[in-house]
Chain A
Amino acid sequence: MSIDLTRRRFLIGSSVAATGLLTGCDALVENATVNDILQKAESLTMGTQRLLMANQQLAREFTEADLSPVFKANGTSQPDSEEYAKMMENNFADWKLVVNGMVQRPLELSLADLKAMPSRTQITRHDCVEGWSAIGKWTGVPLGVVLEKAGLAPGARYAVFYCADELEQTLDGSGKYYESIDLTDAWHPQTILAYSMNGKDLEVAHGAPLRLRVERQLGYKHAKYVMRIELTDSFKGLWGGKGGFWEDRGYEWYAGI
C-alpha cells in the first residue's frame, strides 16, 4: 500500500517535472551560448583523434566474404539536372574532373585519364551518421596522386569537393552538395576518388562517375557525383561557411565520430 502510494506519487511528480524539463530542454537546445559551449567538444574530439592518428593509421579493410549483400544508397540517388542527364546518356565520356584553386597546375581529367592513373582497391565499411553500416569494395585513384600531379600552392589547407547533385532546392544554390577535408585526410592512402564499386563501374545511385572515399569519417563526408576539386585556404566564404552541405545544417565538420 505505502509502496504503491510512493510509486504513484513519484510517477505523478516525475511526469510534471518531465513536462517542465521538456520545454526547458528545447529552450536550452536553441540557446546560442549553450550551442557554442557544446560545440567545443568537436575540437576536443578532432584534436584527440588526430593526436592518436599521428601515424596515418588505416581504416579496417575487409574481405570479399564480408561485403554487404545490398549497399544502401543514401542522400541523392539520381541527380536531376539536365547537364547530369546529358553526361549520363553518353556514359560520362564528356565528363571531366576539374582540379583548381590553390594549385600550381590546374587539371581537367577525363574518366579514362583517371583510370589510367595508379589505383587502389579497398574493401571498407561505410558508416552513415544515422547509425547503419554497409561494406563495399572501392577502386579509385588516391587523391594524393591527383594532388601531386596538380602541385599544391603554398597556403593550401583544404580540398573542397563540388558535386552535381542538389539535395535541397534553393534559389541561391546553397542546396548543392559539397564537402571539404583537410590535407591530413587528403594525403591519407585510403582517401581515394572511386570510379568503381564492387568490381563494376560506379552506379548512379552511388555517385557516378566519381565519389570520394574518406574511410576514417562518416558517410556524409564521402561526396558523390564529384565535378570539381578546389584547393583552398578556407571554406568560410562558401554558402553556410561550415565546409559542407550537412555541416551548414548543423553536423560536425570533423566526422570521425
Chain B
Amino acid sequence: MTSTIESGTAQPKKVLFYRHSVLVRITHWLNVLCLTFLLMSGLQIFNAHPELYWGQYGADARPDPSFISLGAVEDGDTIKGVTRIGSLSLNTTGVLGASKVDGELAPRGFPAWITIPSYQDLATGRRWHFFFAWFFVINGLVYLLYGLIAGHFHRDLVPTRDQLTPKHLAHEVAEHARLRFPKGEDARHYNSLQKLAYVGVIFILLPLMVLTGLTMSPGFNAIFPWLLDLFGGRQSARTIHFITASLIVAFVVVHIVMVLLSGVWTNLRSMITGYYALKVGPRKEISK
C-alpha cells in the first residue's frame, strides 16, 4: 500500500474519490430491500411452525424432538414464552414464544412488529417471501456477473497476500477493538476484516440461503436430489436456513454499527453518489 505524505498544508485536505460503481450501488440498495422483506416474511413463515429439527423429517415436539423451539406454556391465567435450544429453556415472554397481539399476550414465535404481515397469515408471508426471493436471486446474479467481469471482486474484495499475514490480521483486530479505523490513504481500500466479512456474506452466507431455501421445495428436491444429501435432509436445510439468516442479521448489525462509527456521512454518500471523502494531509504516522 502506498502512502501519500503531503506537506505544506496545515489542515488535512478532503479528497473525493470514486469508490462504488453505479451497479454496486443499485444492487446494494435493492439487496437491502429484498433482505428486509425476506427476513420479515420469513419470520412470518417460521411462525406457522416455530420449531426446528435435524434430519429428513420432523413434525412435532413429540415424538420428533425439535432442538430449537419458540413455544408458549400456560402460566397461571396467562401464558409465558419459552425459547428452547436443546435442553436449555429461557423465558422470553414478550418477544419470543409469546408476545402481545392487540394488547394481549398470545402464542407467537416472533413478535408482530417484525413479521409481514404483522398478523398471522402464512399464505401472504409465502407470497412476499417467494417474490422477493426471485428478486434477490436475479439481483444477486447481476451483481455476481458484474463482479466477475468488471474485476470488482478481484480488485476490491479479495484480500491481498500482505493483508492475510497473521501479524497484519492481529494488528487489524486490535485496531478495530479500539474502534480505530483506517484513515487517509489507508481508507482507499477495504481492510482485511472488511474484505473477509464481505467475501463470507457474498460467497458463503447468501448462496447458502438460496440453496437451503431450494432444498425445502418438494419440486426442487425432485430436480436436484443432491441438495437433500448436501444438507442432510429437508428439516436440516430448514434449520440451516434459519441459522444462516441469523448470521446475516448479525452481519447487518455489525455492518451498520461500523458505518455509524467510521464516518456515517461519507459512507452513506459513497453508497449513494459513489464518492467517498478521504482526509489526506499532514500525517502523524505513516501507514503500515
Interface residue stretch chosen among A87-95, A132-140, A155-163:
A132-140
Residue B103 CB within 8 A of the other chain:
no
Contacts of B235 in A (CB 8 A): 132-133
Q: Does the CB pair B116–A70 fall under 8 Å? A: no
Interface residue stretch chosen among B74-82, B122-130, B199-207:
B122-130
Instruction: Tell me the minimal C-beta distance from B217 to chain A in angstroms.
Output: 4
Q: How many residues of B contact A (CB 8 A)?
A: 47
- Distance in angstroms between the alpha carbons of A250 and B124 in the assembled complex: 7
Instruction: Tell me the minimal C-beta distance from B38 to chain A in angstroms.
Output: 12
What are the interface flags for A103-118 relative to B under an 8 Å C-beta threshold, 1 for contact and 0 otherwise?
A: 0000000000000000
Interface residue stretch chosen among A36-44, A170-178, A200-208:
A36-44
Known: A66-B56, A69-B63, A69-B64. A131 touches B223 (CB 8 A): no
Instruction: Tell me the minimal C-beta distance from B126 to chain A in angstroms.
Output: 7
Instruction: Give the residue name and chain of the B residue nearest to A67 (CB).
Output: B57
Q: Does the CB pair A127–B234 fall under 8 Å? A: yes
Residue A18 CB within 8 A of the other chain:
yes
Residue B225 CB within 8 A of the other chain:
yes
Contacts of A135 in B (CB 8 A): 56-57
Interface residue stretch chosen among A143-151, A215-223, A228-236:
A215-223
- Distance in angstroms between the alpha carbons of A29 and B56 in the assembled complex: 33
Interface centre among B45, B179, B219, B235 (most CB of A within 10 A): B219
Q: How many residues of A contact B (CB 8 A)?
A: 55
Q: Which of B49, B122, B123, B219 contacts A49 (CB 8 A)?
A: B219
Instruction: Tell me the minimal C-beta distance from B29 to chain A in angstroms.
Output: 17
What are the interface flags for B108-134 relative to A under an 8 Å C-beta threshold, 1 for contact and 0 otherwise?
A: 000011001111011110111011011
Residue B46 CB within 8 A of the other chain:
yes
Contacts of B218 in A (CB 8 A): 59, 125, 127, 215-218, 255-257
Q: Does the CB pair A133–B131 fall under 8 Å? A: no
Interface residue stretch chosen among A50-58, A75-83, A191-199:
A50-58
Instruction: Tell me the minimal C-beta distance from A151 to chain B in angstroms.
Output: 28
